[in-house]
Amino acid sequence: MTNIYDKPKTPPIESLSPQNRAIMEYLTLSPGRGLSALIALTQMGIGSISKRIAELRALGFNIVDEMKFGANGGMHKVYRFNEDGSKQSKWKGSKVKTATAVLNDGKA
């Protein structure tokens, strides 16, 4: 009998679809490197990064996301593979701190 609280086993990267494999290779080659929709579209030809990330999460890959402010003040989501297994991002700052910084002094 399997325990429902056991962490799902992730499949080998080689067995993933081409787009999901490209995402996982991008995220795992450089620890801490983030992937945005713009990078996914322009460098990988992936139009729906959120759908691919949902598929990878369903397979058991621990991918965290964070909202970031761009140079023009717009917001975008950045995804990162979290190897340590926690559900929280280890990036410096958080969505709340970044938003507060922008509101208080106009800096991201």
- pLDDT value of position 85: 56
- pLDDT per residue as tens digits for the range 51-92: 999 999 999 899 999 998 888 888 989 999 887 655 554 444
In the three-class reduction of DSSP (H, G, I as helix; E, B as strand; rest coil), residue 106 is classed as coil
In order of start, what are the domains of the chain with their CATH numbers? 13-83+91-105 (1.10.10)
Does 8 have pLDDT greater than 70? no
- Per DSSP, the residues of 31-76 read TT--EEHHHHHHHH--S-HHHHHHHHHHTT--EEEEEEE-TTS-EE
